[in-house]
Amino acid sequence: MNMPWAIILLVGGLVILWKCADLLVAGAVSLAVLLGVSPLVAGLTIVAMGTSAPEVAASIAGVFRENGGDLALGNVFGSNIANLALVGGVIAIISPLVVQKRTLRREVPVMLLVILLLFPFVHDYQITRGEATLLLAVFASLLFLTVHVARRESRSRMSEDDLGVEIDTKHVKKNVIYIIIGLIGLAIGADMALRGAVFIGEAIGLSKAVIALTIVAFGTSLPELVTCVVATLKGHHDISVGNLVGSNIFNTLLVTGAAGMVKPFELSEGRLAGGIDYWIVVIVSVAFALTAILGRRKIGRRAGAALVCSYIAYLIYLFSTVSPQVIPGGPCG
């Protein structure tokens, strides 16, 4: 690969991301309405799982490389920070983000609890297969509970007449196809953009830690960013909030657990093993929750700008504390 091709991949990937995010949002919202499930639940499950797929792929691939644990967990931490500070801030600037009371009482505390749960796992500088299994078990339990509660609430909202109405299977199939095409397109677009961005990062001599925490994390967060922007422009705030919160839960449990299950990994940098970058994830998560609470369940444009500024400050901190490495033999080996 050369620099022109890297730029083409980056730009082309972004275009595919935008078009497929539009299909995913349209399909998820319509399917939620047809099945009597709230768009928030669709965002927490279908959309969040789909937009977290690049993180899963990147972290699993990362553990097979040198210092793979740093790449895998750096991707998780960087993506979580980018989701709340960058993506959450950008969509709040576009349109004040409304957070449901139920979300602040249930899903947001769960997001905070799972990141705190990770501390004893990473504090010893490794993720064993047993620990990975436990993380995946917690993830599966949360997913089952979310779907179970959503179905129960859906049945309680429906009247007897509603229960007697058959769901239009034709429209369900159409929206499922939209969702599938959207998810596949997001994965392809993110992979294209990520390959181009990583090549450019290696070309200028960035270290693996910085590449994981910035370029890889931002690249794998592109599906969340584009999907949330599209959803916000269409007025579907629940999809955006569900996607952000759900993706962070998925990243912490599913991505870390899947990577550790495939290949148990060790961490070489204390900043990831319960150090400064771990606590930055916790602080950003708490700040996002407090912003919504203090704003009376609304994250306004000023708060959104503050979140984006905090992400920029984090990037400045990263580049000022981690010295670049010159890659022997040039980019990509």
Q: Provide the pLDDT confidence category of residue 266 given band limits of 50, 70 and 90.
A: confident
- Percent of the chain topping pLDDT 90: 17
State the average pLDDT over residues 170-182. 78
State the average pLDDT over residues 250-279. 85
Q: Provide the pLDDT confidence category of residue 160 given band limits of 50, 70 and 90.
A: very low
- pLDDT tens per residue across span 26-73: 777 777 766 666 777 777 777 777 767 767 777 777 777 766 777 788
Asked if residue 313 has pLDDT above 80, the reply is yes
Please give the pLDDT value at position 71.
78
Spell out the residues 6+ positions from residue 245 whose beta carbon is closer than 8 angstroms to its own: 44, 48, 103, 107, 108, 111
Could you tell me the pTM of the whole model?
A: 0.76
Which of these ranges, 141-155, 160-174, 217-231, has the smallest mean pLDDT? 160-174
Asked if residue 324 has pLDDT above 90, the reply is no
- pLDDT tens per residue across span 205-224: 666 666 666 776 777 677 77
Which of these ranges, 33-42, 73-82, 120-129, has the smallest mean pLDDT? 33-42
287 vs 49, higher pLDDT: 287
Delineate the domains of the chain, giving CATH numbers in brackets: 3-164+171-321 (1.20.1420.30)
* 325 phi, psi to nearest 5 deg: -115, 140
Please give the pLDDT value at position 309.
94
Mean pLDDT of the chain: 78
163 vs 175, higher pLDDT: 175
Q: Provide the pLDDT confidence category of residue 325 given band limits of 50, 70 and 90.
A: very low
CA dist 245 and 160 (Å) reads: 33
Q: Provide the pLDDT confidence category of residue 243 given band limits of 50, 70 and 90.
A: confident
Please give the pLDDT value at position 284.
93
